[in-house]
Structure 1
Amino acid sequence: MIPLDAQIRAVLFDIDDTLVDLGTAMARAVRASSAEFVPELSEQEWDRLCWGFQADPEGYYDAFLRGELEFVGQRVARARLAFASVGGGLPDAQVEGWNAAYESEAQRHWQPYPDVLPVLDALDASGIRYGAVSNNVESYQRRKLDIAGLSRISVLVGTDTVGVPKPDPRIFQEGVRQLGFSVSQTLYVGDNLLVDALGATQAGLPALWLNREGLAAESVDGQRWDGPQTSTLAELPEFL
Structure 2
Amino acid sequence: MFDIDETIVDLYKAMADAMVAASAHLLPGHGDADWEQFAAIYMADAEDYYDRYVAGEFTFNEQRGLRARAVFARLGVPFGADAEEQWIEDFERAQPLSIRAFEDVVPVLDALDAAGIAYGAVSNNVHDYQRAKLDQAGLQRISVLVGIDTVGVSKPAPEIFLEGCRQIGLAPGEVLYVGDNFMVDGVGSVQAGLHGMWLNRLGQEVPAFGGGSSLGGGASAGGEAAAADAAAQVAVVSSLAEIPVLLGLSEPAKQV
Aligned CA distance change for structure 1 residues 216 and 117 (closer, same or farther; 3 Å):
same
Q: How many Å separate the matches in 2 of 1:221 and 1:22? A: 28
Q: Is contact 1:38-1:86 (8 Å) kept?
A: no
Aligned amino acid, residue 110 of structure 1: I
Deviation at 1:228, TM superposition (A): 1.4
Q: Is contact 2:69-2:84 (8 Å) kept?
A: no
Pick the aligned partner of 2:78 from 77, 89, 92. 89
Deviations 1:156-200 (A, max 9, x none): 000000000000000000000111111000000000111100110
Q: Is contact 2:179-2:186 (8 Å) kept?
A: yes
Q: How many Å separate the matches in 1 of 2:86 and 2:33? A: 26
Q: Secondary structure at the match of 1:129?
A: coil
Q: Computing the radius of gyration over CA atoms, which structure comes out larger, 1 or 2? A: 2
Pick the aligned partner of 1:228 from 217, 232, 235. 235
Deviations 1:58-109 (A, max 9, x none): 1000110111100000011111111222222321012222111111111001
The residue aligned with 1:3 is none
Pick the aligned partner of 2:95 from 106, 122, 130. 106
Deviation at 1:39, TM superposition (A): 5.9
Aligned amino acid, residue 235 of structure 2: P
Deviation at 1:40, TM superposition (A): 2.1
Aligned CA distance change for structure 1 residues 219 and 141 (closer, same or farther; 3 Å):
farther
Q: How many Å separate the matches in 1 of 2:6 and 2:208? A: 17
TM-score normalised by structure 1 residue count: 0.91
Deviation at 1:220, TM superposition (A): 7.3
Q: Secondary structure at the match of 1:197?
A: helix
Query: Which of the pair has the greater relative contact order for Cα pairs under 8 Å at 6+ separation?
Result: 1
TM-score normalised by structure 2 residue count: 0.85
Deviation at 1:57, TM superposition (A): 1.2
Deviations 1:211-231 (A, max 9, x none): 001111115756874331111
1:237 aligns with 2:226: no
Aligned CA distance change for structure 1 residues 55 and 219 (closer, same or farther; 3 Å):
farther
Identity fraction in percent: 49
Coordinate RMSD, CA, aligned: 1.5
1:156 aligns with 2:145: yes
The residue aligned with 2:44 is 55
Q: Secondary structure at the match of 1:13?
A: coil
The residue aligned with 1:200 is 189
The residue aligned with 2:124 is 135
